């Protein structure tokens, strides 16, 4: 068993052949599978899409300067959207912090 994650770029239906091969045998028609999936309209849009915290070497704790990335959430729908990020695992190591971690985004 394996998990397949598909992240579409457009709101549309996709028909894709899953290119499965066996090591040493190449492509076998009996393994070929067609996948039908659908790109859905996002509930909210996030900018930037990828959060990349650059590497940082900390030599002394008292000299550590925190890094932050500001993220903007937009709601393309007409209705208000309530959101929440589960931060319980972040609190264990106390390395990352997300503020605020819940809220409401008005439509439009």
> What is the token pair recorded at 3?
């998990």
Short-list 1, 30, 29, 35, CA closest to 15: 35
**CA dihedral in degrees (85, 86, 87, 89; nearest 10)?**
-140
Low-confidence residues in the chain, pLDDT < 70: 62
CA distance 104 to 43: 12
| Peptide bond connecting 62 to the previous residue in cis, omega within 30 degrees of 0 | no
pLDDT value of position 103: 92
Domain boundaries, given as residue ranges, for the chain? 1-40, 45-105
pLDDT value of position 52: 86
pLDDT value of position 60: 75
pTM as predicted: 0.55
> What is the token pair recorded at 66?
């925190």
């Amino acid at each position: 068993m394996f998990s397949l994650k598909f992240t579409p770029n457009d709101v549309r239906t996709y028909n894709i052949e899953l290119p499965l091969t066996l090591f040493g045998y190449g492509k076998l028609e009996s393994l070929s599978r067609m996948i039908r999936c659908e790109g859905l309209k996002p509930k909210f849009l996030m900018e930037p899409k990828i959060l990349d915290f650059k590497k940082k070497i900390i030599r002394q704790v008292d000299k550590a300067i925190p890094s932050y990335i500001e993220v903007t959430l937009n709601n393309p729908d007409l209705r208000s959207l309530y959101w929440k990020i589960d931060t319980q695992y972040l609190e264990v190591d106390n390395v990352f912090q997300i503020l605020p971690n819940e809220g409401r985004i008005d439509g439009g």
